[in-house]
Amino acid sequence: SQELEQSPQSLIVQEGKNLTINCTSSKTLYGLYWYKQKYGEGLIFLMMLQKGGEEKSHEKITAKLDEKKQQSSLHITASQPSHAGIYLCGADAFKTSYDKVIFGPGTSLSVIP
């Protein structure tokens, strides 16, 4: 079955610094999602990537899907305290039919003012 790994597990950065979170899949990614979660709350959708080499940006967050579609990165530029939270990548488990969306273990981000 498909599994998602994320690195790093946790990250502490100074406000204003850039950072990158990685998500690696054991199988080809056909639908890759990035979500953000505040502790003890639900997940908020950030971006979705489907095509190899695709890149999307929203405000100061940029997500990329590599050409082989087995790795994605999330890059935050000039981090702010509001960026703190848990970032999870998720993927549709199979391409040919609708299947469950599975998630990586998450990356906990703390931003120090």
CB of 14 to other proteins, least distance (A): 26
CB of 105 to other proteins, least distance (A): 4
Residue 59 makes CB contacts below 8 A (sequence gap 6+) with none
Q: Which residue number, 12 or 44, has a Cβ lying nearer to other proteins? A: 44
CB of 31 to other proteins, least distance (A): 4
- Write out the two tokens for 31: 């639908």
Look at residues 79, 88, 78, 25 and name the one whose alpha carbon lies nearest to residue 52: 25
Q: Which residue number, 14 or 97, has a Cβ lying nearer to other proteins? A: 97
**What is the C-alpha to C-alpha distance for residues 86 and 95, in angstroms, rounded to an integer?**
27
Residues within the interface to other proteins (CB under 8 A): 30-31, 33, 35, 40-45, 48, 50, 88, 90, 92, 97-106
What is the amino acid identity at position 3? E
